[in-house]
């Protein structure tokens, strides 16, 4: 460490701005913590949807089960796209912290948005394929719980994409001020949280279903 | 902490996440091991990947234990364990009785 100033403590989850913008760093503590409380309640929601899915996974009512319906390749593509979008959001956070450059930040966010929207596109094509095979939500308890779980995550990613779009507009209107920065901090932990939920969806729904 | 060090954390996290994802997907089709072994390894990969994402993307670790968000995570994990564990217990028990 060549840095002579005392390091600022980490105050909240996600990217901390202490080293480059102490004022926003202080202001963000309560806001990010409050958002983290919401995310944990969201985690409870997802955990219970997973529990419902586990109790329903064999209730196929004579219809097709996980092994007949799911495929490894589209799941792998969706996983890699979402993981890449988590990484590009990390790059956006680094640009916000160290470069404070609006256009570069917007490019990183647009990259994340493109990956997020392609993830949604792959999922829509998955759902469409299932529907063509006759695997609709009302067919069995298994399919009902599958659609509830996966489309809840889908709606979260969709709201994340809308949020990115709103932040892109706010960045060009307001520039990189304190409010925009704290909003981007919260968007960042939201986006990384969605990728964590997806780890459990591809593991418990797709991989263990195909095993 | 400077840009290079923080960037390296994201790259390390990405490489670890890709490795764990790759292992989990490969084990799904690689059928030389019994299903039970692969089942356990795939779940272990998911839990490890959860920790990798927490550590490298959300910058949460156990060293700075004075932070409120850590207590919140532990409390939420406790609530989730109670509700999910209790629910699975009750429903599977009922399923067994219905046989």
Same domain, yes or no: B73 and B27 = no
Average pLDDT per block of 10 residues along chain B, 99 residues long:
88 97 94 92 96 92 71 93 96 90
In angstroms, the separation between the Cα of residue A20 and the nearest Cα of chain B is 10
The more confidently predicted of residues A107 and A16 is A107
Q: Residue A146: which pLDDT band, with cuts at 50, 70 and 90?
A: very high
Q: Which of A199, A198, A201, A195 is nearest to A86 (CA)?
A: A195
Q: Which two tokens stand for residue A133?
A: 């095979």
- In whole angstroms, what is the distance from residue B15 CA to residue B52 CA? 10
Range of the domain at B71: 64-99
The more confidently predicted of residues A125 and B59 is A125
Same domain, yes or no: B55 and B68 = no
The reply to whether residue B59 touches residue A203, judged by beta carbons under 8 angstroms, is no
The reply to whether residue A87 touches residue B10, judged by beta carbons under 8 angstroms, is yes
Q: Residue A5: which pLDDT band, with cuts at 50, 70 and 90?
A: low
Q: Residue A2: which pLDDT band, with cuts at 50, 70 and 90?
A: very low
Mean pLDDT, to the nearest integer, of A14-27? 88
Q: What is the per-residue burial (b if ≥16 Cβ within 10 Å, else e) of B22-55? A: ebbbebbeeeeeeeeebeeebbebbebbbebbbb
- In whole angstroms, what is the distance from residue A184 CA to residue A23 CA? 15
- In whole angstroms, what is the distance from residue B19 CA to residue B49 CA? 9
Residue of B28, B50, B66, B77 to mutate for A, most A C-beta atoms under 10 A: B28
Distances (CA, A) of A161 to A20, A24, A101, B7, B68: 27, 24, 21, 24, 29
Same domain, yes or no: B98 and B73 = yes
pLDDT digit string, tens, across residues A164-198: 999 999 999 999 999 999 999 999 999 999 999 99
Span between the terminal Cα atoms of chain A, in Å: 49
Distances (CA, A) of B16 to A68, A190, B53: 31, 21, 9
pLDDT digit string, tens, across residues A108-122: 999 999 999 999 999
Count of structural domains, chain B: 2
In angstroms, the separation between the Cα of residue A163 and the nearest Cα of chain B is 19
Cβ neighbours of residue A17 under 8 Å, at least 6 residues apart? A24, A25, A28, A96, A97, A181, A185
Note the pLDDT of residue A13. 86
pLDDT digit string, tens, across residues A93-103: 999 999 989 99
Q: Which of A41, A72, A195 sits opposite B25 (nearest CB)?
A: A72
Nearest CA in chain B to A4: B1
Note the pLDDT of residue B1. 60
Please report where in the chains the tokens 């799941």 appear, as a residue. Answer: A75
Same domain, yes or no: B18 and B43 = yes
CATH of domain A22-52+83-210: 1.20.120.80
Same domain, yes or no: B81 and B48 = no
Contacts of A141 in chain B (CB under 8 A): none
Cβ neighbours of residue B35 under 8 Å, at least 6 residues apart? A211
Please state the domain extents for chain A.
Answer: 22-52+83-210
- In whole angstroms, what is the distance from residue A160 CA to residue B57 CA? 17
Mean pLDDT, to the nearest integer, of A8-15? 81
Q: Which of A58, A211, A155 is nearest to B46 (CA)?
A: A211
The reply to whether residue A208 touches residue B88, judged by beta carbons under 8 angstroms, is no
ipTM: 0.92
Does pLDDT of A6 surpass 60?
no
The reply to whether residue A207 touches residue B25, judged by beta carbons under 8 angstroms, is yes
The reply to whether residue B21 touches residue A83, judged by beta carbons under 8 angstroms, is yes
Q: What is the per-residue burial (b if ≥16 Cβ within 10 Å, else e) of A190-211? A: bbbbbbbbbbbbbbbbbbbbbb
Same domain, yes or no: B53 and B12 = yes
Does pLDDT of A29 surpass 80?
yes
Q: Which of A48, A79, A189 sits opposite B21 (nearest CB)?
A: A79
Nearest CA in chain A to B1: A19
Q: Which of A161, A148, A165 is nearest to A118 (CA)?
A: A161
The reply to whether residue B21 touches residue A80, judged by beta carbons under 8 angstroms, is yes
Let me know how many helices (H) and strands (E) chain A has, helices first. 7, 0
Q: Which of A11, A13, A75 sits opposite B60 (nearest CB)?
A: A13
Q: Which two tokens stand for residue A16?
A: 């901390």
The reply to whether residue B10 touches residue A80, judged by beta carbons under 8 angstroms, is no
């Amino acid at each position: 460490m060549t840095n002579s100033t005392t390091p600022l403590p980490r105050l909240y989850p996600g990217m901390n701005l202490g080293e480059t913008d102490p004022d926003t760093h202080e202001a963000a503590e309560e806001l990010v913590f409050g958002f983290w409380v919401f995310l944990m309640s969201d985690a409870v929601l997802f955990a219970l949807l997973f529990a419902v899915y586990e109790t329903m996974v064999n209730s196929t009512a004579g219809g097709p089960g996980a092994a007949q319906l799911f495929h490894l390749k589209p799941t792998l593509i969706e996983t890699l796209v979402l993981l890449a979008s988590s990484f590009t959001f990390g790059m956006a956070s680094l640009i916000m912290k160290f470069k404070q450059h609006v256009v570069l930040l917007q490019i990183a966010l647009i990259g994340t948005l493109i990956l997020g929207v392609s993830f949604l596109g792959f999922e829509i094509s998955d759902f469409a394929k299932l529907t063509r095979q006759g695997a609709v939500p009302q067919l069995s308890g298994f399919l009902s719980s599958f659609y509830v779980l996966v489309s809840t995550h889908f709606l979260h990613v969709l709201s994340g994409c809308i949020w990115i779009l709103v932040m892109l507009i706010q960045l060009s209107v307001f520039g990189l001020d304190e409010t925009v920065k704290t909003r981007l901090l919260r968007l960042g932990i939201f986006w990384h949280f969605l990728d964590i939920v997806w780890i459990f969806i591809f593991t418990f729904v797709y991989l263990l279903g195909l095993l | 902490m400077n840009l290079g060090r923080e960037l390296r954390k994201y790259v390390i996290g990405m490489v670890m996440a890709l490795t764990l994802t790759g292992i989990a997907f490969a084990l799904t089709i690689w059928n030389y091991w019994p299903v039970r072994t692969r089942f356990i390894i795939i779940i272990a990969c998911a839990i490890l990947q959860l920790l990798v994402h927490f550590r490298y993307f959300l910058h949460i670790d156990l060293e700075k234990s004075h932070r409120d968000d850590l207590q919140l995570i532990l409390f939420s994990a406790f609530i989730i364990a109670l509700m999910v564990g209790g629910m699975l217990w009750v429903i599977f028990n009922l399923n067994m009785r219905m046989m």
